[in-house]
Amino acid sequence: MLDGLITSKTRVRILMRLFLNSREKVYLRELANEYGLSSGQLSSELHHMRDAGFLSQDRSGSKVEYRANTKHPLFPELQSMARKALGMDKILDSIVERLGNLEMALLLDDYAQGKDTGIVDLALVGDINKQNLNDLVEKTERYIDRKIRTLILTWPEYLALKTSLDSRPQLVLWERKPETETSAKS
């Protein structure tokens, strides 16, 4: 999807990595190792993206840290495109509509860092209809051509495992808004 719009495959990979989870920060060497590129090749791509305003950078001693520039006017669209390219939009729509009393959906591990490894790890919190979930997972896997692993937790189970889950890379994909917020807006 994005590689038809953006001609550099490296830029697409950087956008996917940093725009899927805008809190993600990376170092040049970290990305170079991950992508199997020289620091020079990658540095040039990062500088182009920074100069265009898509990335921001912070210097920490001799290291430079890059992340998505959330203030860029195209940030919401680029983040949406990254999610669509990975199929996250389809997963979310299906999950929220058909799973029962979903309280929260978390993307975990590699995909939460924007790494497209082919296995999507989701933690679903609430009273989940497991039969509908199995059906959704099967259909969505075919649609997005990726494997989906789910961890189903009740709210008390989530709270008991929260410290452990918080130590893993994660991105909150969906969270039920408290009734007070919904009724206050009406």
3-state secondary structure 115-134: CCCCEEEEEEEEEECHHHHH
Domains assigned to the chain: 2-79 (1.10.10.10), 86-185 (3.30.460.10)
Among the listed residues 143, 27, 36, the one whose alpha carbon sits nearest the alpha carbon of residue 9: 36
Give tens-digit pLDDT for 87-123: 666 666 666 667 778 889 898 998 888 788 889 899 9
Collapsing DSSP states into helix, strand and coil, what is residue 100? Answer: strand
pLDDT given at position 135: 86
Cβ-based neighbour number of residue 112 at 10 Å: 21
Whether this model's pTM surpasses 0.75: no
- Give the angle 121-106-110 at the CA atoms, nearest 5°: 40
Comparison of pLDDT for 54 and 180, the residue scoring more? 54
pLDDT, mean over the chain: 81
Give tens-digit pLDDT for 142-165: 877 889 999 999 999 999 999 999
Give tens-digit pLDDT for 30-85: 888 888 888 888 888 898 889 888 899 998 888 889 999 999 888 888 888 877 77
pLDDT given at position 94: 61
Q: Is the pLDDT of residue 138 over 60?
A: yes
pLDDT given at position 3: 40
| Phi, psi (rounded to 5 degrees) for 125 | -110, 125
pLDDT given at position 136: 83
Paired sense of beta strands 119-128 and 100-108, if any: antiparallel
pLDDT given at position 163: 95
